Amino acid sequence: MSNYRPPYIEYSGYLINGQIGHWQGNYAEVTSQIVLNSEGKGTLIGKVPDMDSDHALLALDAAQRAYGRGQGKWPTMKVKDRIECVERFVSLMTNHRNQVVELLMWEIGKNKSDAAKEFDRTVQYIYDTIEAYKKLDRRSARFDKESNINAHIRRGPLGVVLCLGPYNYPLNETFCLLIPALIMGNTAIFKPAKLGVLLITPLLDAFQTAFPEGVVNILFGRGRNIAAPVMKTGKVDILALIGHSSSAVALQDLHPNKNRLRLVLGLEANNPAIILPDADLDHTVKECISGTLSYNGQRCTALKVLYVHSSIVGKFIEMFSRAVDDLKYGLPWEDGVFLTPLPEKNKPEYIQGLINEAISKGANIMNKNGGKMSGNFCYPAVLFPVDKSMKLFNEEQFGPVIPIVAFDNINEPLDDMANSEYGQQVSLFGKDTSKLGPLIDILANLVCRVNLNSSCQRGPDVYPFTGRKNSAVSTLSVFDALRSFSIRTFVASKDNDYNNDILRNLLNSHHSNFISTEYLL
């Protein structure tokens, strides 16, 4: 099935307090769902430590010591010095591009071009974060004066961050949390997602070399052994998680000091597309293909349901189904492959269950190849008509099955969105501005990004990425992430000669890293 040799990494390391330890306990096997044998079994590609709660608590101690209750070297360091550490890290990280891209293909089945994009986008995000922090610092290198009070206002860190990323973007989304958290002066404990674990292992040395001891601590293992005991101590200041809201709620519930805990969460979405009668169908089909099926639909921003006006639903389904059937299926490294095997062992069974249930309630598979399965290959199924009685309507499928709902009255999709627990993004397809205008005004209040004649997506990363209701807490973007991982804090003094002399002396003496009007260019 493949002439591409699988990797095999038996990794025993973990990073606590600046030391890469050698794990002595149990190990967890890492199995790729890319099948190379005739029995249809996944491929063993490595082992990682299955660490315990004692080590999780050691990592917490290390992160706490490095933060030093705000008195540590890292949170009080000059911005320039923290930036240097991140610069060192990103330059070391780039040496591992090929290996990380290969592991993204094997561990999570991402096709080669998307895997390379994930790596490059992450590196760019880190460089952009450095520039955004310099800009923020330049803006803070000044005093304000209001009502006879001089104020020097900056953004300061919050403390210890527990950072947990998702399996679908195990590098990008995790580092888009971790790097802004660190650069702002927080310290972190980071556990890779359930899939996409080996690809972090080549980077431990880079973390160790670039950051002072205890600033970043990396553990491998299960959430219940690592995240849960750390949260129970009440010593985590920020929970940074991209994943499912049930995990986010369970972890918050363990924290005894709820008001201490800041949340930076990216959760489920169930983004819809609304296709109006005058939409350009060629263009709409193209956008809906990438919206629904990039990375097999396993994106939080993916289009999870298509609402199509009944006057065009027949034509749309015909064109869309043909386009779906034309998509190239294969192994992640093969040229031009769009669809790949699903990385979760039981996902095809789940997808099959959704399809069967929808069919039993009156839906049909509309495309020729729809629902064909072979091992973890799962050909996308276009289902119509889908209604509220079906699981496929109510659950975020996060995979290659596309429900289509016909509507006559625009209030039908609008009411569904208003009633939904989610509110991340929508795609709106149409042309008539007298119809689009009022719709945009409503949709902007139901979600946080209205994509006009475009699929939903997170990027470009400088734009705000967030959601309403159960879809997110806090906003991420290159700049907003710096805000999410910090708090405004300032030094104030009454405007008189006595205080102003002291401020001048502080500025001239460079005794404070906080009170400084030096610019970072």
In the complex, the residues that contact ligand G3H under the rule CB under 6 A are 168-169, 173, 299-301, 457-459
Least Å from the CB of residue 422 to ligand G3H: 13
Least Å from the CB of residue 271 to ligand G3H: 10
| Comparison of 152 and 299: residue with beta carbon closer to ligand G3H | 299
DSSP-based three-state secondary structure for 447: coil
Q: CB count, 10 Å around CB of 76?
A: 15
For residue 471, report the phi and psi dihedrals to the nearest 5 degrees.
-90, -25
Encoded tokens for 154:
């900056």
Displacement of CA 467 from its chain's centroid (Å): 13
| Comparison of 312 and 448: residue with beta carbon closer to ligand G3H | 448
| Comparison of 225 and 397: residue with beta carbon closer to ligand G3H | 397
Under 8 Å between Cβ of 476 and 484: yes
Least Å from the CB of residue 143 to ligand G3H: 39
Least Å from the CB of residue 298 to ligand G3H: 8
Least Å from the CB of residue 441 to ligand G3H: 24
Residue 157: CB partners within 8 Å, gap ≥ 6? Answer: 67, 70, 75, 184, 185, 186, 485, 486, 487
**Rounded Cα distance, 47 and 31, in Å:** 9
| Comparison of 321 and 425: residue with beta carbon closer to ligand G3H | 425
Helix (H) or strand (E) holding 442, with range, is helix 433-446
| Comparison of 154 and 304: residue with beta carbon closer to ligand G3H | 304
Under 8 Å between Cβ of 35 and 1: yes
Under 8 Å between Cβ of 159 and 67: yes
| Comparison of 301 and 484: residue with beta carbon closer to ligand G3H | 301
| Comparison of 32 and 301: residue with beta carbon closer to ligand G3H | 301
Least Å from the CB of residue 519 to ligand G3H: 33
Query: What secondary structure does DSSP assign to 52-78, as a single string?
Result: -HHHHHHHHHHHHHHHGGGTSHHHHS-
Least Å from the CB of residue 176 to ligand G3H: 8
Encoded tokens for 486:
């910090």
